[in-house]
A and B are shown apart, each in its own frame.
Chain A
Amino acid sequence: MCLGIPGRIVEIDDNPLMRMGKVDFGGVIREVCLAYVPEAQVGDYVIVHVGFAISRIDEEEAQETLRLLAEMGLSVSDELEGGKER
């Protein structure tokens, strides 16, 4: 029910009644309400739930998380290597 799908904003219609836009979900383009992401611009990634964007994806946070994961993978590898030597 709380499913959210990431997509990229390709068009914004600043309708005074409700901020709308078009979002590209990996090739499929759908109309999405952008009223809850007033800061989002064309090119931004958003998470969409039942036709509404609920957040603008923070790309820096995403990169940071992936970097931390990569680092952790390295440190775990180091530990495993160390374990073998001991």
Chain B
Amino acid sequence: MGEKRPGNSCALCTSAVETFEKLRGLCALVVKSKMTVTTFTDSFRDPDAARALAEAIRARSTRPIRLMEFCGGHTHAILRYGIPSLLPETIDLRSGPGCPVCVTSATDLDRAITLAQVPRAILTTFGDMVRVPGSRASLSQAKAQGADVRVVYSPLDALQIARQNPDRPVIFLGVGFETTAPMVASAVVAAETEGVGNFYVFSTHKLTPPATRAILDAGEVALDGIIGPGHVTTVIGSEAWRFLPDDYTIPVAIAGFEPLDILRAILALVEMIEEGKPDVANAYARSVRPEGNPAAQQVMERVFEIADADWRGFGTVPASGLRLREEYARFDAGRAFPVEVEPAREPPGCRCGEILRGVLRPPDCPLFARACTPEHPVGPCMVSAEGACAAYYRYGNLERRTAHVEREM
């Protein structure tokens, strides 16, 4: 089967003329001996290999199944690369809650907006957060009204702003899953080490396995397998998903973010489902290890402790969030600046909550692409670039979406 040593000429490339064109692309993948950055992107986008994987999935899949991609980055990639059009009709892909901006509750956003209005405060956060509507306004509206809201790329940039403005409180609105929480923890540790006393974190960090459990426990949508989040799992390790086969008897395949990564994960899921052998498959082994990243886990555990968290669409999920430990309480914006907010209101008619739970698809929402568009978003799933609604709006194939909706009605 094939020439195994990269660098050698591939004898099979000289075989059947008919398959030559197809094989040439595939052989090009393996003869690259010197890696470049594009080896980890372009090589995993090869259209011939994608078609070969799709053929293998088609050949293997006999019964209708529904898979959930947890991660918003996967939703985006799946639609961007047209993966649904490569898959057989037997496979239904559902978006999950893996858009941190989307699952941030309106109450937490209202709190963040109130924190931005603390006298002389500078509120810092990631770009996606500023446009998301709370119940009354967004951070960008608060900024327009005079609040000092700044977008940063890294929590270390927020710490730098704190160093440069020692007489002003600098609050970092921490959003994100296990991928992002360690970096915020590192910024807190650095602030402690350097004695930066005006740096605060408002943590809305959330954990992915408890949300996955919440979806499965609710039973609103029957799932046959999970496409596991590649970068969350780079941190927490693939063994953190062992509960899926063990407790729920469904398989999980960890995927990277290139089309071939996602297709490999889908193939692994189809194989495990067809064989009735649920397990944890790692289709992103170039980044994900079974034990994850111990250094990132250690700093996260040092600074944060597990707490209940409010998720948009889910309500309070037990032990699904991260708050600063007592030892780091002086960096906790929630404790340093206690703010009261009125009960939050969700945007009327917005079905973002059901979309985050995988119960509905974006086109099932009556507002989708009508009252709610990326230019005039009603809810967070349309605001964030990672939101399922934004991804469907931008890349979705209307005919196929319609076909899915009709079949399910």
* Chain A, interface residues (CB within 8 Å), range: 35 or more
CA distance A57 to B1 in the complex (A): 27
Give residues of chain A (32-83) contacting chain B, Cβ–Cβ below 8 Å. 33, 35-38, 45, 47, 49-52, 54-55, 57-59, 61-67, 69-77, 79-81
B39–A62 touching, CB < 8 Å:
yes
Say if the beta carbon of B63 comes within 8 Å of chain A. no
Give residues of chain B (264-316) contacting chain A, Cβ–Cβ below 8 Å. 264, 285-289, 293, 295-296, 299
CA distance A34 to B232 in the complex (A): 17
A54–B59 touching, CB < 8 Å:
no
B180–A76 touching, CB < 8 Å:
no
A55–B293 touching, CB < 8 Å:
yes
A45–B35 touching, CB < 8 Å:
yes
B39: A residues at CB distance < 8 A: 62
A72: B residues at CB distance < 8 A: 49, 52-53, 56
Most buried by A among B49, B180, B287: B287
A61–B286 touching, CB < 8 Å:
yes
A73–B128 touching, CB < 8 Å:
no
If A36-B296, A51-B154, A73-B26 touch, whether A2 touches B73 (CB-CB below 8 Å) is yes
B30–A66 touching, CB < 8 Å:
yes
B35: A residues at CB distance < 8 A: 45, 59, 62
> Chain B's interface: helix, strand, loop or mixed, by majority?
helix
A79: B residues at CB distance < 8 A: 55, 59
Chain B, residue nearest A48 (CB):
B154
B293–A50 touching, CB < 8 Å:
no
Shortest distance between the CB of A9 and any CB in chain B (Å): 12
CA distance A69 to B287 in the complex (A): 17
B55–A63 touching, CB < 8 Å:
no
The 8 Å CB contact of B37, one of A1, A26, A49, is A26
Chain B, residue nearest A56 (CB):
B287
Say if the beta carbon of B241 comes within 8 Å of chain A. no
Say if the beta carbon of B352 comes within 8 Å of chain A. no
If A2-B71, A2-B179, A81-B16 touch, whether A33 touches B38 (CB-CB below 8 Å) is no
CA distance A4 to B12 in the complex (A): 35
Say if the beta carbon of B135 comes within 8 Å of chain A. no
A1–B180 touching, CB < 8 Å:
yes
The 8 Å CB contact of B234, one of A8, A17, A24, A54, is A54
Chain B, residue nearest A57 (CB):
B286
CA distance A81 to B401 in the complex (A): 33
B295: A residues at CB distance < 8 A: 35-38
A74–B286 touching, CB < 8 Å:
no
CA distance A47 to B256 in the complex (A): 11
Say if the beta carbon of A21 comes within 8 Å of chain B. no
B231–A69 touching, CB < 8 Å:
no
Say if the beta carbon of B165 comes within 8 Å of chain A. no
Q: Mark A8-39, 1 if CB is under 8 A from B, else 0.
A: 10000000011000001110000001011110
Listed by A's residue number, 17 A-B pairs whose Cβ atoms lie within 8 Å are A1-B180, A2-B100, A17-B194, A33-B186, A35-B186, A36-B296, A37-B293, A50-B155, A51-B154, A51-B183, A54-B235, A65-B264, A66-B30, A70-B29, A74-B2, A76-B59, A81-B18
Write the residues of chain A forming the contact surface with B, with a CB cutoff of 8 angstroms: 1-4, 6-8, 17-18, 24-26, 33, 35-38, 45, 47, 49-52, 54-55, 57-59, 61-67, 69-77, 79-81
